[in-house]
Amino acid sequence: MTHDPETSGAPTPQDTPNGTPATPAADRVPERDDPRDPLDAALRKVGSGTAVTENGEIDVLATIGGWRGLVESVLPSAVFLVAFITSHNLWGAGIAAVVVAAAFSVARLVQRQSPVQALAGLAAVVLCVVVALNTGEARDYYLWGFVTNAAYIAAMAVSVLVGWPLLGLVFGLVRNEGIAWRQDPQRRRRYALATWILVAALALRLAVQIPLYLADLLTALGTARLVMGLPLYALALWFGWLVSARQDTKPVSEGRPDQPGA
């Protein structure tokens, strides 16, 4: 699954097996409808970050990187907020946040994890700190989160409007549907709704946090950033999974009332 834009590079468990059964023949995508190889590979790489349990339900905690991923996404921002509130030293708060993020990255590199995955969170924290130091305003530490949220909102909204909802592409691969769901109007609507739920969660962040930013309420802004970070993202992801679940129809009984001889 794609990274949460506001948590700035929280890791995803790309090596977690999804545990889903082999695709039934009826659900396989006809060969003529398969995407081109590069597109298919790209989508599968994104979908591999979405973990599911053995019974086929989404594992939200594993998808956001587990408890480790949650801590790594939250702690640098929490350290920055607490350090600045207590010391009013922007440089000190920024350095503290970078040191924490760097420690997480080093730990992942020592464990020989992907360098991109290990350094993504550190790069995002460094960017946030650089923006704040450049303007001299502690509240601008959170400015980059607004930009990435707006970009994700725009991208997901466009994906729905053009008939390729993002969560349909990701969840469709996880559920072994490929892109065959696009042939079913009901499935398209469900995946569109799931994507709109994620859009709404990101839009809610902006609706709450931008007024706090403009009012220069740093403590409230930092707290809202923590609460509305991965927890809200994970909740929206879970709801999106639920509303897009396949509704299998039961076969019609041979003895229904409208048939002759019933």
**Per-residue pLDDT tens over the stretch 234-252:** 899 999 999 998 775 444 4
Cα gap 129→138, rounded to integer Å: 9
| H or E element, residue 138 | none
Cα gap 157→35, rounded to integer Å: 21
Residue 215 backbone dihedrals phi, psi, to 5 degrees: -85, 0
> In the prediction, which pLDDT does 209 show?
96
> In the prediction, which pLDDT does 100 show?
94
The candidate with the shortest Cα–Cα distance to 7, out of 201, 244, 238, 258, is 201
> In the prediction, which pLDDT does 102 show?
95
> In the prediction, which pLDDT does 86 show?
94
Token pair for 225: 């950033």
Which amino acid type is present at position 245? A
168 and 194 Cβ atoms separated by less than 8 Å: yes
> In the prediction, which pLDDT does 73 show?
82
> In the prediction, which pLDDT does 229 show?
86
> In the prediction, which pLDDT does 47 show?
44
| H or E element, residue 196 | helix 185-214
Q: What is the DSSP string of 88-114?
A: --HHHHHHHHHHHHHHHHHHHHHTT--
> In the prediction, which pLDDT does 187 show?
93
State the number of CA atoms in the 13 A half-sphere of 243 facing the CB. Answer: 19
> In the prediction, which pLDDT does 120 show?
86
Sites in the chain below the pLDDT cut of 50: 10-36, 39, 42-48, 249-262
Quick check: pTM over 0.75? no
